[in-house]
Structure 1
Amino acid sequence: MLVDSHCHLDRLRLDAFGGSLAAALDSARQAGVGHFLCVAVALEDWPAMVESVAAFDDVSLSVGVHPSEEGRAPTLSELVRLARTPRVVAIGETGLDYHYGPERAELQREWFRIHVRVARETGKPLIVHTREAREDTLAILREEGAAEVGGVLHCFTEDWEMAQRALDLNFHISFSGIVTFRSAAQIQEVARRLPAERMLVETDSPYLAPVPHRGKPNHPAWVREVAAFVAELRGETAEQVAATTTNNFFRLFRDAVPSAHAPL
């Protein structure tokens, strides 16, 4: 069984599935994907996101505000309240992105600190997005005591040094379709060297489809392609990587419950 540890199910392009999210999830289940973490990016969209996946007991949720969002600002009290919603297992996606909107860097840092404090108060791990903000990301995680709850640097695009520093802060590393790209040599090195017990896989769908689907709208079934590529890099079988990353997911996201009908 595989877990898509980071996807945006409310934003999937569903043309290939007759407009049906249920059909898209069925396609993923047939590919061996037994659980999905649907990740929040904006407070305005969050109620609709929760409603869109309510019928699917193999979908967990997060709550948070992406650093590039310019909508309603997160507050500690609101995020703590929403984090108590059933099936919410993580805080985020949060973090820093200085590539888009660098003029908002100070506000991003403020929001990031709020999310870490919410994670500590609720005991739920963090989902962290970082782009062109390595030192500030690590500094805030360290200063705010994020190691207490841990979490994941999702869609990892950094080098081995960054990975080591994240591991020291009690974080996991998640590989998306980017790891399959020809230009991703430093990410592939991390995938080879990463301790197995800290590794996750994801699609970040509908974005970043892996080779051989690059350029198409991504969907959760293709987490299988990511896992297979990582397995080849590590000299392991796809089944080994699937089992390892699934076990890691449920160990990290302690409130996530495997579905009774998940594929083996």
Structure 2
Amino acid sequence: MLFDTHVHLNARDFFEDRDETIQRAFDTGVNYMVVVGFDRETIPLAIEIAEQYETIYAAVGWHPVDAIDMTDEELNWIEEFSAHPKVVAIGEMGLDYHWDKSPKDVQKDVFRKQIRLAKKLNMPIIIHNREATEDVIEILQEEGAASIGGIMHCYNDSAKYVQACLDMNFYISLGGPVTFKNAIEPKEVAVQVPLDRLLVETDAPFLAPHPNRGKRNEPSYVKLVAEKIAELRGLTLGEISENTTKNAISLFGIKL
């Protein structure tokens, strides 16, 4: 039994075969998924998908790349959606310094506002971080995010930052990059993270794991991520599956 903690089944890439894609995941043993909404288009659809499947849940937030587009109206809108019984987290949120659509100061402001909203709601947060690790950690610390915790989504940074994340009550989620041949840091992280703080994800349709790298990713491929982590840690797939699923269920407060 596996839990894909971050998937974008609400992406247009899945418009023509979403149900078939979900069934392939179930058939592969991926029993649980969280569909992440991050803007005006994807948030309602994330909830719509979650409503259709008992073991699929949703997260709602505003992506940092589009931070410049978020007003107080959008923040209130996210808060309204958060009351839905299938919404289990706020996010994805964070900082992305790779793209230049939204200025850094705007991204930081939107990030802080969403952390404060999540604290008000007492819900975990899902962090998007691209080329902004030190600023992400600093803001999480300053905003007291440890009180709610959450996920460092698709962690692809140096192992030296892992402890700071763990100290703030965050789980480390690994995706496709841990299977890439030359990806040294994700492999180091996969071994370092305590088993009770580890999660797996696909971030589909992005970052497909080996041997599907470069193709459309999908939630059934989270098994490839778990298999690689099991290999790196000298554990069985069953042990990784059991522990990462248990971690996700606990973090999201899912009642079985």
If the length of structure 2 is used for normalisation, what is the TM-score?
0.94
Aligned partners of 1:242, 1:138: CA distance in 2, in Å? Answer: 28
1:96 alignment partner, SS class: strand
Amino acid at match of 1:39: V
Amino acid at match of 1:13: D
Aligned partners of 2:217, 2:12: CA distance in 1, in Å? Answer: 8
Partner of 2:247: 248
Partner of 1:213: 212
Amino acid at match of 2:115: V
Task: Pick the aligned partner of 1:54 from 29, 51, 58.
Answer: 51
Aligned partners of 1:103, 1:171: CA distance in 2, in Å? Answer: 26
Corresponding position: 1:11 with 2:8:
no
Q: 1:54 Cα deviation (Å)?
A: 2.5
Mind listing any 5+ residue stretches in structure 2 that lack a counterpart?
Answer: none
Residue correspondence of structure 1 range 27-38 to structure 2 within 5 A: 27-38=24-35
Aligned partners of 2:12, 2:239: CA distance in 1, in Å? Answer: 28
Partner of 1:262: none
2:40 alignment partner, SS class: coil
Amino acid at match of 2:175: S
Contact 1:163 1:190 in 2 (8 A): yes
Contact 1:191 1:234 in 2 (8 A): yes
Q: 1:48 Cα deviation (Å)?
A: 3.1
Corresponding position: 1:149 with 2:144:
no
Partner of 1:170: 169
Q: 1:22 Cα deviation (Å)?
A: 1.7
Aligned partners of 1:220, 1:78: CA distance in 2, in Å? Answer: 28
1:221 alignment partner, SS class: helix
**In 2 relative to 1, CA 77–33 (structure 1 residues): closer, same or farther, beyond 3 Å?**
same
Q: 1:186 Cα deviation (Å)?
A: 1.2
Contact 2:7 2:201 in 1 (8 A): yes
Aligned partners of 1:156, 1:239: CA distance in 2, in Å? Answer: 22
**In 2 relative to 1, CA 192–74 (structure 1 residues): closer, same or farther, beyond 3 Å?**
farther
Aligned partners of 2:232, 2:217: CA distance in 1, in Å? Answer: 22
User: CA-to-partner distance for each residue in 1:50-105, whole Å, 9 max, x for gaps?
Assistant: 22442111110011011012574153433322211220000000000011117611
Task: Point out the structure with the larger helix share.
Answer: 2
If the length of structure 1 is used for normalisation, what is the TM-score?
0.92
Root-mean-square deviation (CA, aligned residues, Å) is: 1.6
Partner of 2:19: 22
**In 2 relative to 1, CA 82–25 (structure 1 residues): closer, same or farther, beyond 3 Å?**
same
Aligned partners of 1:175, 1:49: CA distance in 2, in Å? Answer: 21
Partner of 1:179: 178
Aligned partners of 2:102, 2:58: CA distance in 1, in Å? Answer: 30
If asked which structure has higher relative contact order (CA below 8 Å, sep 6+), I would say: 1
Percent identity between matched residues is: 39
Aligned partners of 2:67, 2:117: CA distance in 1, in Å? Answer: 20
User: CA-to-partner distance for each residue in 1:201-220, whole Å, 9 max, x for gaps?
Assistant: 00000000000111110000
Aligned partners of 1:84, 1:22: CA distance in 2, in Å? Answer: 26
Mind listing any 5+ residue stretches in structure 1 that lack a counterpart?
Answer: 259-264
User: CA-to-partner distance for each residue in 1:197-246, whole Å, 9 max, x for gaps?
Assistant: 10000000000000011111000000000000000000000100000000
Amino acid at match of 1:117: R
Aligned partners of 1:65, 1:56: CA distance in 2, in Å? Answer: 24
1:65 alignment partner, SS class: coil
Contact 1:25 1:220 in 2 (8 A): yes
Aligned partners of 1:145, 1:214: CA distance in 2, in Å? Answer: 37
Contact 2:36 2:43 in 1 (8 A): no
